[in-house]
Structure 1
């Protein structure tokens, strides 16, 4: 998500009276690749770019191709074969993957500007889906899109009524199942990338002590939205957390009313005050927040469970699954900075549905594959629907 944000920010800096621009997007991967479909880079005709489509292997050639696209205005799909036997660049990359990259010219006043479209979609609270045509023998053309908004309304360029209906149904299926797809239509003549665009993680930190600052700083490096809240006014000063998006004074009894929980919210309780953390936890549990991390030893959260159950609050298996305490991955963290790294990496693993273990011991490819054609897709967090309870 940070990459998309950076691309959007850089796009708005371009003086289109003096420069031309193009967007390169990975639309299909078979086998191994440094980046998954959906990776992007924004290129200008002065040789600058932001973002990436590989680990640095393909960017130079993509820059050359992008200049051609900027001149003609016609989108191109470039196939890079990085297998040892079929390296199309002649430099022996040996990544054992085949990558399709869509390159399209970007104009400030384009009605179908894909960067402006991304900008609107990333501001949704929940995920959205874009379907992009990248291989066709006729109409619709390469780079034409359909997309779905927050209210499940379908928009886009596809005018053929039957095709639009079919692709609209597939957009809804991808959104519902949270599985990016490559789909073919018109007897295989039309190939479309269905991409899930997720909002950034919304990190809510309860407790504004000195050890919260490195958590804020690392979260912002990741491109997340960050809110820091505390009920002690002495702790709540924007100067203490210059990178936070919001620093908020909020009493524990008002958490339910004043703190907005979004589908991609993660809560970290790190006040070092047992009663405060207990009361905040009590108010978070009825919400659909997917991750609740509590700083402290296991016996501390066990005591919280006992207190909640004594008050008649029934903790389900799902509740205990989304509560993480002791918080963080086991990396031997001691200092505030190390603990912050442990916390941020655990949240990242949670929202990408990964275990957080050593990759060398993973008995599966690094990137998620479909198992049919060895196609790579970005793994999307399966956001379980959590039934809300009445607050206590």
Structure 2
């Protein structure tokens, strides 16, 4: 999940001065990759992290300078040194990264508000940050597949070239593109921001509570669906985005599914699982998991072919025991499947 969701409450609801930090370029092996970000508040409190803890103290000092001048900075940390003269106190991490450190302004808040609105509609976004070292310019534009929705058209990129760079960003391994500017010694940084991943859990048994809680902590929007109101409620699922109660035949009609969604069936009732599986097979979702051994799932499928997106037994084979470990194995498999999936630009 993009770090950006963690920052929305701080940037949109708080009026305290803060600094936004983003990795725009890396070399070698580093703790976080391009596009990773963190927020530093005026009092030094930090939201998120970009290293194993070896740079954050210095970043707090850099943030003070940015707040004092109200100007962005580019900072490069080289962690390849194995002695204390290098950043990281001899970390020897065999990598370096360049950070863009910029103050959170009213314009930033307006952009984040528009960004949240688009992401909440389950649309991916690409941000383009242009940094000019000559005139100290730093501006960010935001695009969906339908075009620009926030900010200005980036200077120096023609309308004929822009679609190519956007597609390269979507196709890149990191979801980022670093493009040196031809007009000056600046650069453009393209960053693909995916909507918050969604997990639908069919079944509200005790084991489901651990899965819902873990998925929420990881950053998923969680929806629990069951026909029993006594089980499917806020008391047992306080962190879930929504608890949906309906008859088994109506549950799938209560929501709209997107291709990037993940679904886990764990009702522990054969007939309910059979109906849900048969219904959900018609939706083009990337991950469908079902609790229980593969032989049981084959019985549930009946004459249906075993689809590529169906995972049974659900979860990575880590020898999990108990609901807590099973929840970890399920989320690990969902994350693995999510990272294997090609990004969408719709």
Local SS of the residue matching 1:321: coil
Task: After superposition, give the CA deviation of every residue in 1:201-232 in whole Å (9 maximum; x if it has no partner).
Answer: 10000011111110011011112111111123
Which of the residues 95, 120, 124 maps onto 2:93? 95
Deviation at 1:172, TM superposition (A): 3.3
Which of the residues 224, 227, 234 maps onto 1:238? 234
Q: State how far apart, in whole Å, the 2-side matches of 1:36 and 1:70 are.
A: 25
Local SS of the residue matching 2:62: helix
Taking the TM superposition and a 5 Å limit, the aligned residue runs for 1:1-392 are: 1=1, 3-16=3-16, 20-84=17-81, 88-89=86-87, 91-107=89-105, 109-110=106-107, 115-116=112-113, 118-134=115-131, 136-138=133-135, 142-149=137-144, 151-153=146-148, 155-158=150-153, 160=155, 163-165=157-159, 168-174=162-168, 177=171, 179-186=175-182, 189-305=185-301, 307-309=302-304, 315=305, 320-353=307-340, 381-382=341-342
Deviation at 1:49, TM superposition (A): 1.6
Q: State how far apart, in whole Å, the 2-side matches of 1:173 and 1:382 are.
A: 12
Distance 1:241 1:308, change over 3 A: farther
The answer on whether the counterparts of 2:30 and 2:94 sit within 8 Å (CA) in structure 1 is yes
Distance 1:201 1:284, change over 3 A: same
TM-score (norm 1): 0.79
Q: State how far apart, in whole Å, the 1-side matches of 2:179 and 2:2 are.
A: 27
Comparing 20-29 with 172-181, greater Cα deviation is found at 172-181
Deviation at 1:301, TM superposition (A): 1.1
Q: Where do 4+ consecutive residues of structure 1 move more than 6 Å? A: none
Local SS of the residue matching 1:53: coil
Figure out how many residues of one structure are paired with residues of the other and give that number.
342
Deviation at 1:118, TM superposition (A): 4.5
Q: State how far apart, in whole Å, the 2-side matches of 1:165 and 1:272 are.
A: 54
The answer on whether the counterparts of 2:26 and 2:34 sit within 8 Å (CA) in structure 1 is yes
The answer on whether the counterparts of 1:282 and 1:308 sit within 8 Å (CA) in structure 2 is no
Q: State how far apart, in whole Å, the 2-side matches of 1:182 and 1:142 are.
A: 17
Gaps of 5+ in 2: none
Local SS of the residue matching 2:244: strand
Gaps of 5+ in 1: 310-314, 354-380, 386-392
Deviation at 1:296, TM superposition (A): 0.2
Local SS of the residue matching 1:193: strand
The answer on whether the counterparts of 1:154 and 1:168 sit within 8 Å (CA) in structure 2 is no
Local SS of the residue matching 1:286: coil
Local SS of the residue matching 2:107: coil
Distance 1:384 1:325, change over 3 A: farther
Give the alignment's Cα RMSD to 1 decimal.
2.6
Deviation at 1:256, TM superposition (A): 4.0
Comparing 234-243 with 212-221, greater Cα deviation is found at 234-243
Distance 1:33 1:337, change over 3 A: same
Q: State how far apart, in whole Å, the 2-side matches of 1:98 and 1:68 are.
A: 22
The answer on whether the counterparts of 2:226 and 2:251 sit within 8 Å (CA) in structure 1 is no
Task: After superposition, give the CA deviation of every residue in 1:166-213 in whole Å (9 maximum; x if it has no partner).
Answer: 563245314653642212231673322211111221000001111111
